[in-house]
């Protein structure tokens, strides 16, 4: 009898990312640098849409998708990510020229996150705190994906129903803007971790690294990369991302040691 092959029981994208169609432009989120907006979709849900035609370009959506799904694989809370089909006609009656241009330039597939109504930004100055296990996983995660956007000034952490949600990973994975610096990125200790807003609470970074090894691996990365639409990322580039992420996972101790050192400086 042929032995049953064990399928990985770790994170799997249960289904493919859902695709919805935008039906209404509700309002811009002016605080976002990329002019994201709340839109309604044909499933009647509200989403925060990240436009493919924004200045940051389609690679920001690639980073948003890969970063977000890696965070989810690690067990962090990330609002559901969906693909959004945008019809050029949606912006036709939009009075604001800048918004109309953005909608026109983004016809086709975009990315959106489930909108968390009434959420508030994590604010240590207001006494917000976080569990050490979540903070440690977050520090490991952001160092892994080289995400500079988790500072006290711009934490990109939303409190919603007493749970902390991680958003805004569009600036992560900076290597994909300049493939010449890949080796540097793979091995990087990621010094910007010293500005991470959750560093003071991240008392168990080594444990977070061990947990990450259990949860991530080339199969997980490949499953995530398969979800990146060809309109944003040439499918030929997917294996390169999987390879780089796998090598960065192996180089984890570089950035773990840096994060532990940085933390000693802030507590």
Ligand X SMILES: Nc1ncnc2c1ncn2[C@@H]1O[C@H](COP(=O)(O)OP(=O)(O)OP(=O)(O)O)[C@@H](O)[C@H]1O
Residue 81 touching ligand X (CB under 6 A): no
User: Three-class SS of residue 180?
Assistant: helix
Work out the end-to-end distance of the chain between its first and last CA atoms, rounded to an integer number of angstroms: 59
Q: What angle do CA 184, 188, 192 make, to 5 degrees?
A: 125
164-185: b (≥16 Cβ within 10 Å) or e: bbbbbbbbbbbbbeeeeebeeb
Cα–Cα distance for residue pair 179/181, rounded to 1 Å = 5
Size of the site for Mg ion (CB under 5 A): 2
Cα–Cα distance for residue pair 252/249, rounded to 1 Å = 5
Which residue's beta carbon is nearest to the bound ligand X? 32
Q: Is the dihedral of CA 63, 19, 32, 106 positive or negative?
A: positive
Residue 110 touching ligand X (CB under 6 A): no
Pick what 142 binds: ligand X, Mg ion, none; C-beta below 5 to 8 Å, kind-dependent.
Answer: none
Q: Scanning residues 161 to 200, which ones bind Mg ion (CB under 5 A)? A: 168
CB of 154 to Mg ion, least distance (A): 6
* Inter-residue contact 157 to 121 (CB < 8 Å): yes
Residue 254 touching ligand X (CB under 6 A): no
CB of 92 to Mg ion, least distance (A): 28
Place of tokens 């935008």: 22
Residue 115 touching ligand X (CB under 6 A): yes
Residue 48 touching ligand X (CB under 6 A): yes
Residue 69 touching ligand X (CB under 6 A): no
Cα–Cα distance for residue pair 102/114, rounded to 1 Å = 20
CA-closest candidate to residue 114, choices 40, 59, 58: 40
Choice between 146 and 156, CB closer to Mg ion: 156
Choice between 69 and 258, CB closer to ligand X: 69
According to DSSP, the β-strands at 157-160 and 81-86 are unpaired
Residue 174 touching ligand X (CB under 6 A): no
Binding mask 136-165 for ligand X (x = CB under 6 A): -------------x----x-x-x-------
Among 53, 79, 91, 217, binds ligand X (CB under 6 A): 79
| Stretch of 5-13, 30-38, 94-102, 199-207 lying at the interface with ligand X (CB under 6 A) | 30-38
Residue 119 touching ligand X (CB under 6 A): yes
Cα–Cα distance for residue pair 217/81, rounded to 1 Å = 21
CB of 157 to Mg ion, least distance (A): 10
Cβ neighbours for 229, distance < 8 A, ≥ 6 positions apart: 83, 109
Residue 22 touching ligand X (CB under 6 A): no
Q: Enumerate binding residues for ligand X (CB under 6 A).
A: 29, 31-34, 36, 48, 79, 113-116, 119, 149, 154, 156, 158, 167-168, 170
Q: Enumerate binding residues for Mg ion (CB under 5 A).
A: 156, 168
């Amino acid at each position: 009898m042929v032995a049953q092959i064990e399928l990985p029981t770790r994170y799997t994208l249960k289904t493919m990312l859902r695709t919805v169609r935008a039906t209404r432009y509700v309002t811009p989120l002016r605080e976002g640098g990329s002019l994201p907006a709340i839109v309604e979709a044909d499933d009647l849900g509200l989403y925060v849409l990240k436009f493919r035609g924004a200045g940051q370009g389609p690679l920001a959506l690639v980073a948003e998708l890969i970063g977000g799904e890696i965070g989810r694989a690690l067990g962090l809370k990330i609002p559901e990510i969906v693909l959004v089909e945008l019809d050029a006609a949606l912006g036709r009656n939009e009075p604001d020229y800048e918004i109309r241009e953005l909608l026109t330039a983004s016809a086709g597939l975009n990315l959106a996150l489930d909108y968390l109504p009434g959420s508030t930004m994590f604010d240590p100055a207001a006494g917000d705190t976080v569990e050490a296990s979540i903070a440690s996983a977050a520090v490991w995660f952001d160092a892994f994906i080289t995400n500079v956007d988790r500072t006290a000034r711009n934490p990109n952490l939303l409190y919603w129903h007493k749970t902390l949600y991680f958003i805004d990973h569009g600036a992560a994975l900076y290597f994909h803007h300049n493939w010449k610096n890949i080796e540097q990125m793979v091995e990087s200790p990621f010094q910007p971790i010293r500005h991470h807003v959750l560093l003071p609470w991240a008392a168990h970074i080594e444990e977070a690294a061990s947990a990450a090894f259990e949860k991530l691996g080339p199969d997980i990365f490949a499953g995530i990369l398969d979800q990146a639409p060809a309109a944003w990322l040439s499918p030929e580039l997917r294996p390169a991302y999987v390879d780089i992420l796998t090598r960065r996972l192996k180089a984890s101790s570089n950035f773990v040691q840096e994060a532990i050192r940085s933390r000693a400086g802030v507590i």
